[in-house]
Amino acid sequence: MAPDRPMSPCPCGRADYSACCGRYHGGLFAPDAESLMRSRYSAFVLGLPDYLLATWHASTRPSTIDLDSGVRWLGLDIKKAAGDGNQATVEFVARSRHGGGPAHRQHELSRFVHEDGRWFYLDGDVR
């Protein structure tokens, strides 16, 4: 279940949560790879491991995800989204901070596949 947080900004930075990633956390399928990428980032921020597993392609999905509660997510920048109706890539930078440490910048090119009417995260290359 998605947390009920009406009229709060979406963690991905694009819109109000309920009009953005909240819809996908609530069960709607993300219509494109960028929206799925954003909703997965928001799921990390909000602590929704079930959503991360459900949107992970079966061929690469881990059996469990341990979300590190010591991480604070600082923001997401989508650099580039490309692809067609069957596969796509999304290049992004996600910024986080662990405890009182310095901000960490994760630059990744993620791959997504469209299967059975919905998008799945496949894997990613750290840049």
Among 21, 76, 81, 88, binds Zn ion (CB under 5 A): 21
Phi-psi region of 118 (alpha: psi -120 to 50; beta: other; left: phi over 0): beta
CB of residue 22 to Zn ion, shortest distance in Å:
7
Cα–Cα dist 35/58, whole Å: 19
Nearer to Zn ion, 39 or 111 (CB): 39
On the CB side of 65, CA atoms within 13 Å amount to 18
Among 30, 37, 38, 44, binds Zn ion (CB under 5 A): 38
CB of residue 54 to Zn ion, shortest distance in Å:
17
CB of residue 7 to Zn ion, shortest distance in Å:
14
**Tokens linked to 71:** 């991480």
